[in-house]
Structure 1
Amino acid sequence: MLKIGLLGAGRIGNVHAKAITSHAASKLVAVSDVNQEAAGKLATQYGAQASTSEAIIANSDIDAVLIATSTDTHSDLIEAATRAGKAVLCEKPVDLSLERALACRKIAAATGRPVMIGFNRRFDPNFAALKAAVDRGEIGRAELLSVTSFDPGPPPVSYIKVSGGLFRDMMIHDFDMASWIMGGLPQTVRAVASSIVDPEIGAAGDVDTAVVTLEYADGRIAVIKNSRRAVYGYDQRVELLGSEGLLSAGNMIENTVVKSTKDGVVSAKPEFFFLERYMRAYAAEWAAFVGAVTGSGVVPVSLDDGVNALALAEAATRSAKSGMAVEVATVM
């Protein structure tokens, strides 16, 4: 039985607490948060103890930590936890700074402890099935990937100001998806971005609408589209054209009822947000982490994967500002 310390009791911490306590081979024993009341409430809900991050990391009875704190603390906590001999599952991104993430990777690697980054979309049953079909060669050589990721509405501007920007906060999931599906990093990144959803987002120095093109050395292409506003719900789709066919994974909808009349055909909208769409993915992600820690020790989403996605976010940020393509090798 893995004994787990949860660092962070916010919205995503609550999601992870449910996954931890629902797994037969893991037990939530301690919760920390800068908001002590939130930590106490979540700990009580699941029969754990409220504590501090420092105490959890120092506790030799705790086998692993799940880091769901603010992004600017991730690298420090990864380093501290791995130095203390603990396995780590950390929410994305590794850090707001690529340079800091690279340093963190070096330190964590020296400890030999497993570190997994929380790119939960890899564990969505539909996306996972698409990836498995690619790996089986069912559409031949993958040639053109399209990833659509639209939020139903923008987060508060107060969040935007500390998020690291759309490329590091939102599109980083899609950068990881592209690298996962296409089997590696692109050679160049081209980004076009603007703020047309909410002028306050632009005033805060961020964008809310973006298209990024990833160009691979062998000629393959991936296109990622992001928007902070889709009034009809959480739009999450992947389409992959190959030399021998097409694979696509569509939206999860609120229900499967379809009404067909002389006036037309109407179906339900996509599920409204990530909590509805990806709950199964979070459970599968946690199961994969537990399996890796108790088995081979090789996690399915590594710290390298986290650094690679952050490098693409950095390249996209530079490209959007300069209007020029950016070589990925120049940012690593």
Structure 2
Amino acid sequence: MTDHSRDEIDVAVLGAGRIGRIHAANLARQPGVRLKYVVDVNREAAAALASEHGAQAVDLDAAFADRSIGATVICSSTDTHADLIERSVAEGKHVFCEKPVDLALERARVCAQAVERAGVICMIGFQRRFDPTFAAVKARLDAGEIGIPEMLVVTSRDPGAPPVDYIRRSGGIFKDMLIHDFDIFRWLLDDEAETLHATGSCLTDPAIAEAGDVDSTAVTIRTKRGRLCQINTTRRAAYGYDQRFEVLGSQGMLQAGNVRPTEVAAYTARAVSTDVPEAFFLERYRAAYASEIAHFFDALTRGTPVRTTIADGVKALELAHAATLSWREGRAVRIDEVSA
């Protein structure tokens, strides 16, 4: 078992890609936390990131063999997530893992059971819950500002698609992209889906269709309490990264808009103009990524529950699985078909 008696928490970051670099920089700023190891199959990437933060680049076995490591931050490819979570918790190490838990629903459930048996903290990286604007809407919603929530409309549009090679191994748009929106739906409405209907088209790049996926989707969810949610997504928004939602309640509406590089508005005789939204998710959710890592380590030191558990990861994956089934079979899906 890991030795947790020391005041400082030693951490290993597993994965030195772009999200690994974001998390490494944020955790390196946390008081009482030391980034000790960086692990990546790309040894050059691991060495570069480790050097930047005064850490060591080691292989996976060396990182897990060190009893001083109190937590792992998993930023590697999705197909490694469940294995690394299970290996971490078996060693008594707490875990922060990027979404999704796995692409296979049953594998994610088995992983969640391993976490429960181990009794350690496992947080899944749904960073949108930590966005200051989104969190403010949630707080005001919970305070009853607009009465009882009745309808949620989510707009989630990327500025461009990832490479087709990535799309082929991503598990599809519902598991790769919309899984965040499914988590937002559950979080905001504090409700569970009863039925889901998803449809999709390939409107931006025929190569995505050739890879067996779609790039534009529309999802309608009816909850167990009869509330409605509509989610529209696309992999191409020419004007930037478009992330917003609105909640309609019995006494009003709350909206969360986009974040822009500046809030300057120009008024001329011809037009009123503002900046376009932030370029992509790394810029849009810069503050959210910092906040979620701070929350994770605060939970480790104080023993408080994390906001995004592995159970949340499994629930979001259930919705993504149901959406994939709905799209492929052209029908509405009852969630109990996939959650049993």
Task: Classify the TM-score, shorter chain.
Answer: over 0.9
Aligned-residue offset at 1:58: 2.5
What is the match of residue 12 of structure 2?
5
Matched, 1:249 2:256: yes
Give the equivalent residue in structure 2 for 1:325. 332
User: Which residue is equivalent to 1:305?
Assistant: 312
Is the Cα–Cα contact under 8 Å of residues 139 and 245 in structure 1 kept in the other structure? yes
Q: Deviations along 1:272-313, whole A, 9 cap, x unmatched?
A: 111111111000000110111111242111000000000000
Poorly superposed stretches of 4+, deviation over 2 Å: none
Match of 1:51 in 2: 58
For 2:245, the aligned partner's letter is V
Quote the Cα distance in structure 1 between the aligned partners of 2:191 and 2:170: 26
Once the two structures are overlaid, the 10-residue window that deviates more, 217-226 or 84-93, is 217-226
- Report the Cα distance in structure 2 between the residues aligned to 1:171 and 1:293, rounded to whole angstroms: 29
Partner Cα separation in structure 2 for residue 16 and residue 60 of structure 1: 22
Please give the residue correspondences for 1:242-321 in structure 2 after superposition, counting only pairs within 5 Å.
242-321=249-328
Summarize the alignment of residues 90-129 of structure 1 with structure 2, pairs less than 5 Å apart.
90-129=97-136
The partner residue of 1:160 within 167, 173, 185 is: 167
Shift of 1:170: 0.5
Q: CA deviation at 1:48?
A: 0.1
**What's 2:3 paired with?**
none
3-state secondary structure, aligned to 2:306: coil
Question: Take 1:262 and 1:76, find their aligned partners in 2: how far apart are those partners?
Answer: 60
Q: Which runs of 5+ in 2 are unaligned?
A: 1-7
1:184, CA displacement in angstroms? 2.8
Q: Counterpart of 2:75 in structure 1: which amino acid?
A: A
- Whether the aligned pair in 2 keeps the contact of 1:91 and 1:119 (CA below 8 Å) is yes
Question: Which of 50-59 and 233-242 deviates more?
Answer: 50-59
> What residue number does 2:92 align with?
85
Cα offset for 1:27?
Answer: 1.2
Structure 1 gap segments, 5+ residues each: none
Q: Assess if the C-alpha contact under 8 Å between 2:28 and 2:53 holds in 1.
A: yes
The alpha-carbon deviation at position 67 of structure 1 amounts to 0.3
Does the Cα contact within 8 Å between 1:190 and 1:212 map onto a contact in 2?
A: yes
Structure 1 position 330, deviation (Å): 1.1
Are positions 1:238 and 2:222 aligned together? Answer: no
- Matched residue, 2:192: 185
Residue-by-residue CA offset, 1:195-245 (whole Å, 9 max, x unaligned): 111100110001100011110122100111110000100000010000011
In structure 1, the residue matched to 2:82 is 75
- For 1:275 and 1:22, how far apart are their aligned partners in 2? 18
| CA deviations over 1:74-93 (Å, ceiling 9, x no partner) | 00100000010000000000
Contact 1:114/1:297 (CA < 8 Å) preserved in 2?
Answer: no
Distance across 1 between alignment mates of 2:61 and 2:78: 17
Residue type matched to 2:289 in 1? Answer: Y
State the aligned residue count. Answer: 332
Counterpart AA for 1:227: T
CA RMSD of aligned residues (A): 0.8
State the alpha-carbon separation in 2 of the partners of residues 233 and 43 from structure 1. 32
CA distance in 2, matches of 1:274, 1:256: 18
Amino acid at match of 1:49: Q
2:140 corresponding residue in structure 1: 133
TM-score by length of 1: 0.99
Q: Output the CA distance in 1 between the equivalents of 2:68 and 2:294.
A: 21
1:36 matched to 2:43? The reply is yes
**Whole-angstrom distance in 1 between the partners of 2:89 and 2:63:** 12
Look up the match of 1:216. 223
Separation of aligned partners in 2, 1:30 and 1:180: 33
